[in-house]
Amino acid sequence: MQKQLLLGVEAIAQGAIDSGISGVYAYPGTPSTEITEYIQDSPEAIRRNIHRAWAANEKTAMESALGMSYAGKRALVCMKHVGMNVAADCLMNAAITGANGGLLIVAADDPSMHSSQNEQDSRVYGKFAQIPLLEPSNQQEAYEMTRYGFALSETVGSPVILRLTTRLAHSRAGVETHDSLPENPLHLPENKRQFVLLPAIARKQYKLLLEKQPDFIRASEQSPFNAYVEGQDKSLGIVACGLTYNYLLENFNEGCIYPVIKVSQYPLPRKMLKRLIRECKQILVLEEGYPVVEEMLKGYPGKENISGRLDGSLPRDGELNPDLVGKALCFETREGAPVPELVVPRPPALCQGCSHRDVYKALNEVISTYGEGRVFADIGCYTLGALPPFEAINSCVDMGASITMAKGACDAGLFPAVAVIGDSTFTHSGMTGLLDAVNEKTPITVLISDNESISMTGGQESSALGRIESICQGIGVEAEHIRVLLPVPKNHEELCRVIREELEYPGVSVIIPRRVCIQKAARDAKKNKS
């Protein structure tokens, strides 16, 4: 046993390696990216040849991990919370097929939306799919839970979700690790029809999932990560979920004076909760994200002695912290000093020399000559084009939505309708939208701004690398309307001219401004020098 200083995400990665995984499948997304990167760089993972390449998107990652589980091996699949939406089709059905080898799904949530479009709570997916979910309260638990999660998955024959939030994901603590377990041997499901979800088989499998629910609850009741902590003052009982347990303890020098249920495994430990509700006059629920537990305890029409995010005891949105928990406990909290006027906000911006700058400069110039033209953008570095000085885009909704929103707006009569999407986002979920546009000969112009990497999350290799033109042509875009350009200041006039030409083309056109991300280029140059 040795101790390492690890981020929460690194603790999960090390826990997975030490659990004998045969593969990790993921698409980069803050705050989950470093799990896969840690495994990619791990000498043990390299020695064992653990699968550790990036997937095209979260759905393909989930399906590949399920395939590895089918073969009896342990598989880890990682994504940020919005990635769970992309993977949800497979997730919901994997709950019904069950798992063969251990299948652990890591969902990294982002309350306060530090780098996300929303702050959805992946615990809802655990309840939705009716499968076990783990929620660590610290880095050591993140490590231990990863090992436990694989064992639990194989014991109950179900995928297991491990949910963490940004603060735990990206903070460090000492973590004691254990010796690695060997990888599972190849072994196929005894029931050859288990994963064949034809309706007649799916109905039987779903009944099996329902029959497992008492086992899931029993596992939660007996979990080493759930605990009923006694307290002398029973005027208040506290339910502290995951990381909020630490926030609670930071408000007491010598332990909490109130009875506390520490919740780190779901379904909820019913016996503990019944006892808390029976013994305490008022219940305070501390949880990061949605009021999932609070709503369960309140019931309908609502118990007045249950408080939390819904009644205003805690903010309805954003991250919690020790001060917010202290306020909910009616403790005096010290406010920090006001920010001096000298300190001015520094919003994120496109890097100096970024190719996206040249694209937006040209696009703004051309679009300004049309009265009602709109630019629909996507998820990536180029989303920063919404901010000054460019203010060049009019939408950012979800991965791949730029092309389909441009198509829909064009269907409604808007002209011109332009889509801006990155290379990796295009292969993640933009290709099918382009196919819709080609099939209907929709007159939209798609700019695939290709910087040859997944730059927003650290410069990982894109699935699109070297393939964009052939993909577009294979989808059906006419070769003469697939235009590749070098976006640099000296080519400004050429870029403007090409955009004008393709806007006037009464069909689908694709413009590919291509120049490697300057940050990636700098990192590669440094690496090559050393």
How many distinct helices (H) and strands (E) make up the chain?
20, 18
Please state the φ and ψ torsions of residue 194, each to the nearest 5 degrees.
-55, -40
Residue 377 CB contacts under 8 Å (≥ 6 apart), including other chains: 383, 385, 386, 393, 394, 395, 396, 402, 419, 420, 421
Are 452 and 407 contacting, i.e. CB atoms less than 8 angstroms apart? no
Cα 116 from chain centroid (whole Å): 9
First to last CA, the chain: 33
Of 457, 438, 390, whose CA–CA distance to 32 is shortest? Answer: 457
Are 421 and 403 contacting, i.e. CB atoms less than 8 angstroms apart? yes
Residue 451 CB contacts under 8 Å (≥ 6 apart), including other chains: 354, 355, 356, 381, 422, 423, 514, 515, 516, 517, 520
Q: Chunk the chain into consecutive blocks of 10 residues (it has 530) and report each block's average pLDDT, rounded to whole numbers.
A: 92 98 96 97 97 96 98 97 96 98 97 91 97 97 98 98 96 96 97 96 97 97 96 96 96 93 97 96 96 92 90 94 94 81 84 91 94 92 91 93 97 96 95 97 96 82 90 97 96 96 96 91 78
Q: Where in the chain is the domain with CATH 3.40.50.920?
A: 227-328
Answer whether the bond into residue 31 is a cis peptide, omega within 30°: yes
DSSP conformation class of 460? B
**Bridge partners of residue 485, in order along the sequence:** 513
Per-residue pLDDT at 333? 79
Query: Which two structure tokens, joined as six digits, stand for 300?
Result: 């309908």
Q: Where in the chain is the domain with CATH 3.40.50.970?
A: 2-187+196-221, 355-522
Per-residue pLDDT at 345? 81
Per-residue pLDDT at 530? 67
Say how far apart CA 511 and CA 496 lie, in whole Å. Answer: 11
Q: Could you give the 3-state DSSP secondary structure of residue 373? A: coil
The CATH number of 227-328 is which of 3.30.300.180, 1.10.760.10, 1.10.287.130, 3.40.50.920?
3.40.50.920
Are 306 and 297 contacting, i.e. CB atoms less than 8 angstroms apart? yes
- pTM of the entire structure? 0.93
What is the gyration radius of the CA atoms in the chain, in angstroms?
Answer: 25
Residue spans of beta strands (DSSP E) within 292-416:
306-307, 374-376
CATH 1.10.1060.10 fits 2-187+196-221, yes or no: no
Beta strands 2-7; 23-26: pairing state? unpaired
Please state the φ and ψ torsions of residue 23, each to the nearest 5 degrees.
-165, 150
Does residue 230 come out as left (phi exceeding 0), alpha (psi in the -120 to 50 range) or beta? beta
Query: Concatenated DSSP letters for 52-119?
Result: -PPPSSHHHHHHHHHHHHHTT--EEEEEEHHHHHHHHHHHHHHHHH--SS-EEEEEEE-TT-SSSS--
Per-residue pLDDT at 529? 78
Query: Which two structure tokens, joined as six digits, stand for 60?
Result: 């393909």
CATH class of 355-522: alpha beta
Are 327 and 284 contacting, i.e. CB atoms less than 8 angstroms apart? no
